[in-house]
Protein backbone atom coordinates (compact mmCIF):
# COMPACT_ATOMS: atom_id res chain seq x y z
CA UNK A 1 0.00 0.00 0.00
CA UNK A 2 1.32 3.46 -0.97
CA UNK A 3 1.44 5.88 1.98
CA UNK A 4 2.10 9.62 1.99
CA UNK A 5 3.95 11.45 4.76
CA UNK A 6 4.23 15.03 3.55
CA UNK A 7 2.62 17.79 5.62
CA UNK A 8 0.14 20.30 4.18
CA UNK A 9 2.36 23.41 4.11
CA UNK A 10 5.33 21.73 2.36
CA UNK A 11 2.89 20.15 -0.09
CA UNK A 12 1.42 23.56 -0.92
CA UNK A 13 4.90 25.06 -1.35
CA UNK A 14 5.87 22.23 -3.71
CA UNK A 15 2.65 22.66 -5.70
CA UNK A 16 3.02 26.43 -6.08
CA UNK A 17 6.70 26.17 -7.03
CA UNK A 18 5.94 23.47 -9.57
CA UNK A 19 2.99 25.27 -11.11
CA UNK A 20 4.82 28.58 -11.54
CA UNK A 21 7.75 26.80 -13.16
CA UNK A 22 5.56 24.77 -15.48
CA UNK A 23 3.41 27.72 -16.52
CA UNK A 24 6.22 29.61 -18.31
CA UNK A 25 5.27 29.39 -22.05
CA UNK A 26 8.75 29.04 -23.51
CA UNK A 27 7.55 28.09 -27.00
CA UNK A 28 5.52 31.28 -27.28
CA UNK A 29 8.24 33.45 -25.75
CA UNK A 30 11.04 32.11 -27.95
CA UNK A 31 9.12 32.35 -31.22
CA UNK A 32 8.11 35.93 -30.48
CA UNK A 33 11.67 36.89 -29.53
CA UNK A 34 12.87 35.34 -32.79
CA UNK A 35 10.42 37.46 -34.77
CA UNK A 36 8.32 34.49 -35.87
CA UNK A 37 5.08 35.81 -34.45
CA UNK A 38 2.60 33.89 -32.32
CA UNK A 39 3.21 30.12 -32.60
CA UNK A 40 -0.44 29.58 -31.64
CA UNK A 41 -1.42 30.93 -35.08
CA UNK A 42 0.17 28.03 -37.00
CA UNK A 43 -0.16 24.27 -37.21
CA UNK A 44 -1.92 22.77 -34.21
CA UNK A 45 -1.97 26.08 -32.35
CA UNK A 46 0.04 24.44 -29.58
CA UNK A 47 2.91 26.19 -27.74
CA UNK A 48 5.09 23.08 -27.58
CA UNK A 49 8.24 22.07 -29.44
CA UNK A 50 6.47 20.05 -32.17
CA UNK A 51 4.49 23.08 -33.28
CA UNK A 52 7.51 25.38 -32.95
CA UNK A 53 9.25 23.01 -35.37
CA UNK A 54 6.56 23.84 -37.92
CA UNK A 55 8.03 27.33 -38.14
CA UNK A 56 11.00 25.70 -39.83
CA UNK A 57 13.41 26.73 -37.07
CA UNK A 58 14.88 23.49 -35.70
CA UNK A 59 17.11 25.26 -33.20
CA UNK A 60 14.17 27.09 -31.70
CA UNK A 61 12.19 23.87 -31.50
CA UNK A 62 15.10 22.14 -29.73
CA UNK A 63 15.40 25.02 -27.26
CA UNK A 64 11.66 24.86 -26.56
CA UNK A 65 11.86 21.11 -25.97
CA UNK A 66 14.76 21.48 -23.55
CA UNK A 67 13.25 24.36 -21.59
CA UNK A 68 9.80 22.74 -21.41
CA UNK A 69 11.46 19.61 -20.04
CA UNK A 70 13.60 21.51 -17.54
CA UNK A 71 10.60 23.30 -16.10
CA UNK A 72 9.43 19.86 -15.00
CA UNK A 73 12.82 18.52 -13.97
CA UNK A 74 13.95 21.43 -11.79
CA UNK A 75 10.94 21.66 -9.43
CA UNK A 76 10.73 17.86 -9.17
CA UNK A 77 14.42 17.63 -8.25
CA UNK A 78 14.35 20.53 -5.80
CA UNK A 79 11.21 19.38 -4.05
CA UNK A 80 12.52 15.82 -3.84
CA UNK A 81 15.75 17.07 -2.29
CA UNK A 82 14.14 19.26 0.36
CA UNK A 83 10.77 17.57 0.90
CA UNK A 84 11.29 13.95 -0.09
CA UNK A 85 9.78 11.92 -2.90
CA UNK A 86 6.24 12.99 -2.08
CA UNK A 87 7.22 16.63 -2.49
CA UNK A 88 8.86 15.81 -5.80
CA UNK A 89 5.74 14.04 -7.04
CA UNK A 90 3.53 16.98 -6.07
CA UNK A 91 5.87 19.53 -7.66
CA UNK A 92 6.17 17.42 -10.78
CA UNK A 93 2.42 17.09 -11.21
CA UNK A 94 1.98 20.82 -10.59
CA UNK A 95 4.62 21.66 -13.21
CA UNK A 96 2.88 19.40 -15.71
CA UNK A 97 -0.47 21.06 -14.99
CA UNK A 98 1.16 24.49 -15.17
CA UNK A 99 2.33 23.78 -18.70
CA UNK A 100 -1.09 22.58 -19.80
CA UNK A 101 -3.09 25.23 -17.91
CA UNK A 102 -0.85 28.33 -17.60
CA UNK A 103 -2.49 31.23 -15.82
CA UNK A 104 -0.65 33.67 -18.12
CA UNK A 105 -2.41 32.30 -21.23
CA UNK A 106 -5.93 32.01 -19.83
CA UNK A 107 -5.18 28.39 -18.88
CA UNK A 108 -4.68 27.40 -22.53
CA UNK A 109 -1.22 25.83 -22.81
CA UNK A 110 0.53 22.88 -24.38
CA UNK A 111 -0.07 19.15 -24.22
CA UNK A 112 2.60 18.41 -21.67
CA UNK A 113 4.85 15.87 -23.39
CA UNK A 114 8.20 17.60 -22.84
CA UNK A 115 7.29 18.55 -19.29
CA UNK A 116 6.17 14.96 -18.63
CA UNK A 117 9.60 13.77 -19.76
CA UNK A 118 11.28 16.39 -17.60
CA UNK A 119 9.34 15.34 -14.53
CA UNK A 120 10.33 11.72 -15.12
CA UNK A 121 14.00 12.67 -15.34
CA UNK A 122 13.64 14.62 -12.10
CA UNK A 123 12.11 11.73 -10.17
CA UNK A 124 13.47 8.62 -11.90
CA UNK A 125 15.94 9.28 -14.69
CA UNK A 126 15.72 5.72 -15.98
CA UNK A 127 12.03 6.24 -16.73
CA UNK A 128 12.78 9.55 -18.41
CA UNK A 129 15.29 7.75 -20.60
CA UNK A 130 12.79 4.97 -21.30
CA UNK A 131 10.23 7.56 -22.42
CA UNK A 132 12.73 9.07 -24.84
CA UNK A 133 13.77 5.69 -26.25
CA UNK A 134 10.17 4.61 -26.82
CA UNK A 135 9.36 8.00 -28.35
CA UNK A 136 12.37 7.88 -30.69
CA UNK A 137 11.69 4.30 -31.78
CA UNK A 138 8.02 4.97 -32.50
CA UNK A 139 8.78 8.27 -34.26
CA UNK A 140 11.42 6.61 -36.45
CA UNK A 141 8.85 4.07 -37.61
CA UNK A 142 5.72 6.22 -37.91
CA UNK A 143 6.96 9.86 -38.17
CA UNK A 144 4.09 10.85 -35.87
CA UNK A 145 5.13 12.87 -32.82
CA UNK A 146 1.75 12.53 -31.16
CA UNK A 147 1.59 8.75 -31.56
CA UNK A 148 5.13 8.40 -30.25
CA UNK A 149 4.22 10.30 -27.10
CA UNK A 150 0.98 8.35 -26.65
CA UNK A 151 2.81 5.03 -26.85
CA UNK A 152 5.50 6.16 -24.41
CA UNK A 153 2.86 7.38 -21.96
CA UNK A 154 1.44 3.88 -21.76
CA UNK A 155 4.76 2.09 -21.48
CA UNK A 156 6.35 4.27 -18.77
CA UNK A 157 3.68 3.93 -16.02
CA UNK A 158 3.42 0.18 -16.60
CA UNK A 159 7.16 -0.36 -16.37
CA UNK A 160 7.40 1.85 -13.29
CA UNK A 161 4.66 -0.07 -11.53
CA UNK A 162 6.23 -3.40 -12.43
CA UNK A 163 9.55 -2.12 -11.07
CA UNK A 164 7.93 -1.27 -7.74
CA UNK A 165 8.19 2.51 -8.12
CA UNK A 166 4.53 2.89 -7.24
CA UNK A 167 4.33 6.55 -6.23
CA UNK A 168 5.98 7.78 -9.40
CA UNK A 169 4.01 5.20 -11.42
CA UNK A 170 0.73 6.65 -10.11
CA UNK A 171 1.94 10.15 -11.01
CA UNK A 172 2.94 8.99 -14.50
CA UNK A 173 -0.42 7.27 -15.00
CA UNK A 174 -2.29 10.41 -13.95
CA UNK A 175 -0.24 12.60 -16.28
CA UNK A 176 -0.82 10.07 -19.07
CA UNK A 177 -4.59 10.23 -18.62
CA UNK A 178 -4.56 14.04 -18.70
CA UNK A 179 -2.25 14.06 -21.72
CA UNK A 180 -4.47 11.59 -23.57
CA UNK A 181 -7.44 13.92 -23.04
CA UNK A 182 -5.36 16.83 -24.35
CA UNK A 183 -4.39 14.72 -27.37
CA UNK A 184 -8.02 13.98 -28.25
CA UNK A 185 -7.87 15.85 -31.56
CA UNK A 186 -4.55 14.16 -32.43
CA UNK A 187 -6.02 10.74 -31.71
CA UNK A 188 -8.97 11.51 -33.99
CA UNK A 189 -6.62 12.64 -36.78
CA UNK A 190 -4.47 9.54 -36.33
CA UNK A 191 -7.56 7.39 -36.74
CA UNK A 192 -8.57 9.24 -39.92
CA UNK A 193 -5.03 9.43 -41.33
CA UNK A 194 -4.91 13.23 -41.34
CA UNK A 195 -2.38 13.79 -38.54
CA UNK A 196 0.68 15.86 -39.51
CA UNK A 197 4.00 14.04 -39.57
CA UNK A 198 7.22 15.22 -37.96
CA UNK A 199 8.95 17.97 -39.92
CA UNK A 200 5.87 19.14 -41.79
CA UNK A 201 5.54 22.93 -41.66
CA UNK A 202 2.33 24.59 -40.53
Query: Of 148, 136, 149, 137, which is closest to residue 178 (Cα–Cα)?
Result: 149
Residue 202 confidence class, pLDDT cut points 50, 70, 90: very low
Domain ranges of the chain: 8-192
pLDDT digits (tens, 9 = 90+) for 76-105: 999 999 999 999 999 999 999 999 999 999
- Give the CA angle between residues 118, 121, 127 to the nearest 5°: 115
Q: Please count the helices (runs of H) and the strands (runs of E) in the chain.
A: 9, 0
pTM for this structure?
0.91
Query: Of 134, 144, 140, 154, which is closest to residue 193 (Cα–Cα)?
Result: 144
The Cα–Cα gap between 171 and 41 comes to 32
pLDDT digits (tens, 9 = 90+) for 35-69: 888 888 887 778 888 788 888 888 999 999 999 99
Amino acid sequence: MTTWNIAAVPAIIAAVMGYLSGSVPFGLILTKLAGLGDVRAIGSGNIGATNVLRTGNKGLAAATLLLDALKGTVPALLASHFLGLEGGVIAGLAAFLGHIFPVWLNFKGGKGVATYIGVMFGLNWQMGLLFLLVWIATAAITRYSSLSALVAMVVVPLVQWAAGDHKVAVLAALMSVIAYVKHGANIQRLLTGTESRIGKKG
